[in-house]
A and B are shown apart, each in its own frame.
Chain A
Amino acid sequence: MRDEKARKVSAAAGPVDVFPSPLASPRKPSPAETAWEESTLNPALAKSPDRLADFTTVSSYPVRRIYTDADLTDGNLERDLGVPGQLPYTRGIHPAMYRERLWTMRQFAGFGSAEDTNRRFRYLLSQGQTGLSVAFDLPTLMGYDSDHPLSEGEVGKCGVAISSLADMEALFDQIPLADVTTSMTINSPAAPIWAMYLAVAEKQGADWRRLSGTLQNDILKEYIAQKEYIYPPGPSLRMVTDTIEFGAKHTPKFNPISISGYHIREAGSTAIQELAFTLRDGIEYVENCLDRGLSIDDFAPRLSFFFNAHNDFFEEIAKYRAGRRLWQSVMRERFGAKNPRSWALRFHTQTAGCSLTAQQPYNNVVRTAIQALAAVLGGTQSLHTNSLDEAWALPTESAATVALRTQQIIAYESGVTNTADPLGGSYFVETLTGEIERGARDYIAKIDALGGMVAAIEHGFPQREIADAAYRFQIAVDHREKIIVGVNDYVVEENPIETLHIDERVARTQADRLRKLRSERSGDEVARRLDSLRRAAAGTENLMPHLFETVKAYATLGEICEALRQPFGVYQEVAIT
């Protein structure tokens, strides 16, 4: 941890400029362009002016009316662009990209009981999805059992209810973990949930060395955006480091962390903020692992990332490319990583939930398709596409199917997978890539100056940046400076659509199950294991082996998380509006 290091608090902890710092050398249009402006453009505008005063991206960055090679003179295209599978990775992290292998079609799914979700998993796999992604309910995400008083009304509503290893076993019934790559969106209780997953794998006779998947396990973005925190940063980061260390030894094909920007973007950030805060979170995790004594190339190859695919098509494509170029320089220059696999930014993408509308929900199929296309043109390794009913409820089976088909149509019918980085060399895309990279570097430097990401969070810096950007966007929408079709223009009277309804039966079933579990397991064994866990948590040993034994004794998630509250304490945020 960075606590003992001196913290330089920048006096200017106010908002960073929305736009990146200007280029060293100003743009010099060619004589042909200048002539065009004088003789063709200006007369045309005099007859019929631009539709709007400003043309900006969804993040409110200004976009020029045309990009030419005059926009690329600040860089060296051969160096900055390169080729796929090689530094600086702008064009992709694999040499053959989608010609060799398509991105993983990994639809986030989960609702009700483990049996309900297991059925939806097997359905989606039968429809051609190529990886699983587990959505847990809020009680599980917050470390409460389904029958805890605070779980009332929440069980199975946002995801699947998992209170013990027994539920986890039911979740993966008929799903061989050695063969099916599985991602789990879990953060504060990531370590015990992962312990349950590993226990199921053991019961299935799966070799841990073959297990492939991802644990989200990114606590920093919880404090910044998603707010599903339990414990304070110190102990939480300790557990993240425990999982990375354990994974490096035991599960070489499993990503112990998915450093995320998706939620930061959903909370209202700009594209540059999304990229900057995500990569700076990554830097913080790397520093924690190095402080633990891990060797950079032992764990860095398995760091993975997770980004949003929002509405502004070119801004998103440029963001992914900028991300790859920035991360390799962080890994090589800042951390001295030598293994090329440590340099490559591998990421999953999800299309932007916050962009989907309650009004005219079928329009969301179109939004999701455009966003998914941006993610593919940006070279994502894995993709989730949202369903049309996103703004109303969890997806119905048919809505989830259309979302999956969207990916399949892009993959097999659009032709964009035939070549790597199809937009490479575009004046616009290369300029935007450079601008986003520079803007992200500015923010990273700012957070460094504040003393790192934990310090920045304590100052409320990323939270305030996000809240400001969210408010600016809402005001722009309210004033119809940003049009949302069906919402502030092209509005019609509508009838409601069919949606998925989850009732309290799940809560009752879970309560019965937990009663039965508690009566059938060895109470003594559970008490011993929890005691041992508590003592280990108060010390410095890696908690994963303890958690593994504790979940196998059928201690519940709630019991485990409560046991950890004692040595760890709980986090209270200072709300920034």
Chain B
Amino acid sequence: MPDKKIRVLIAKPGLDGHDRGAKVIARALRDAGMEVIYTGLRQTPEMIASAALQEDVDVIGLSILSGAHNTLCARLMDLLRAQKMEDVAVLIGGIIPEQDIAELKKIGIAEVFLPGTTTQAIVDFIRQRVSHASAASQPHRSAE
């Protein structure tokens, strides 16, 4: 049976308009066979949570270079929990000081990708993460 395409929402939360990274990642994920929805700029956490729900995504990729990551991620994670979407992996890329990474992971961010990450590393992470998630949610699937 063919694998369902992994669905990824790439989002630019907050006022930051630097979209080079978000667009490169969106394209790389598409080239890797994923279904990618790019939200465009200046999305509130509410808009992102709503889009993630509507598009029924497996992964949300956030791009934040503005320094507003702590505020925006906290709000988004709260909204996703309220929508019972804890199984959706939330990844961030951008400008994130080292000292903030631990706290972001504590509130549920799956991974923080710093400048210099290859597109392949992100593709691999998502594939691994989503396949584990689907394996975990289908305990009766026979070993392959």
Question: Which chain A residues have a beta carbon within 8 Å of chain B's beta carbons?
Answer: 138-139, 141-142, 144, 150-154, 157-158, 222, 226-228, 266-268, 354, 357-359, 391-394, 467, 470-471, 474-475, 477-478, 484, 486-488, 496, 499, 501-502, 573, 575-577
- Shortest A372–chain B CB gap in Å is 21
- Shortest A110–chain B CB gap in Å is 13
Determine the chain B residues whose CB is within 8 A of the CB of A157 once the complex forms.
66-68
Q: Is B115 an interface residue (CB 8 A)?
A: yes
Within 8 A of A (CB), among B8-25: 14-20, 23-24
Name the residue on A nearest B40 (C-beta): A575
CB contact between A138 and one of B14, B44, B118, B119 (< 8 Å): that residue: B14
CA distance A477 to B117 in the complex (A): 10
Determine the chain A residues whose CB is within 8 A of the CB of B99 once the complex forms.
496, 499, 501
CB contact between A575 and one of B24, B38, B44, B98 (< 8 Å): that residue: B38
CA distance A474 to B116 in the complex (A): 10
Decide: A138 near B15, CB < 8 A? Known: A153-B68, A577-B27.
yes
| Binary flags per residue of B23-59, CB closer than 8 Å to A gives 1, else 0 | 1101110100000101011101000000000000000
- Shortest B39–chain A CB gap in Å is 8
Determine the chain A residues whose CB is within 8 A of the CB of B128 once the complex forms.
none
Q: Is the CB of A392 within 8 A of B97?
A: yes
Determine the chain B residues whose CB is within 8 A of the CB of A502 once the complex forms.
67
Q: Is the CB of B115 within 8 A of A357?
A: yes
CA distance A486 to B72 in the complex (A): 30
Q: Is the CB of B15 within 8 A of A474?
A: no
CA distance A388 to B68 in the complex (A): 21
CA distance A496 to B98 in the complex (A): 7
Question: Which chain B residues have a beta carbon within 8 Å of chain A's beta carbons?
Answer: 14-20, 23-24, 26-28, 30, 36, 38, 40-42, 44, 66-72, 95, 97-99, 114-116, 118-120
Q: Is the CB of A577 within 8 A of B95?
A: no
Q: Which of A228, A394, A496, A577 has most B Cβ within 10 Å? A: A577
Determine the chain A residues whose CB is within 8 A of the CB of B95 once the complex forms.
391-393
Q: Is the CB of B70 within 8 A of A153?
A: yes
CB contact between A471 and one of B14, B18, B24, B44 (< 8 Å): that residue: B24
CA distance A138 to B65 in the complex (A): 11
Determine the chain B residues whose CB is within 8 A of the CB of A358 once the complex forms.
114-116
Q: Which of B15, B16, B68, B98 has most A Cβ within 10 Å? A: B15
CA distance A474 to B14 in the complex (A): 25
Q: Is the CB of B98 within 8 A of A392?
A: yes
Q: Is the CB of B26 within 8 A of A142?
A: no
Decide: A573 near B15, CB < 8 A? Known: A268-B20, A393-B97, A470-B24.
no
Give 4 new A-B contacts, CB below 8 A, not counting A154-B67, A359-B116, A496-B99. Answer: A154-B66, A354-B20, A470-B23, A474-B28
Decide: A474 near B24, CB < 8 A? Known: A227-B17, A358-B116.
yes
CA distance A357 to B72 in the complex (A): 25
- Shortest B43–chain A CB gap in Å is 11
Determine the chain A residues whose CB is within 8 A of the CB of B97 once the complex forms.
392-393, 496, 499, 501
Q: Is the CB of A158 within 8 A of B120?
A: no
Name the residue on B nearest A572 (C-beta): B40
Q: Is the CB of A154 within 8 A of B68?
A: yes
Determine the chain B residues whose CB is within 8 A of the CB of A268 once the complex forms.
20, 24
CA distance A573 to B41 in the complex (A): 9
Determine the chain B residues whose CB is within 8 A of the CB of A142 once the complex forms.
15, 42
- Shortest A141–chain B CB gap in Å is 8
28 inter-chain pairs at a CB distance below 8 angstroms, sorted by A residue, are: A138-B14, A150-B15, A152-B68, A152-B71, A154-B14, A154-B15, A154-B68, A158-B16, A226-B18, A227-B19, A228-B17, A357-B115, A391-B95, A393-B95, A467-B23, A467-B27, A471-B28, A475-B119, A477-B118, A478-B118, A486-B116, A496-B97, A496-B99, A499-B97, A501-B97, A575-B41, A577-B26, A577-B27
- Shortest A15–chain B CB gap in Å is 15
Q: Is the CB of B27 within 8 A of A158?
A: no
- Shortest B35–chain A CB gap in Å is 13
CB contact between B15 and one of A139, A266, A467, A478 (< 8 Å): that residue: A139
- Shortest A162–chain B CB gap in Å is 15
Decide: A577 near B23, CB < 8 A? Known: A393-B97, A484-B116.
yes
Q: Is the CB of B24 within 8 A of A153?
A: no
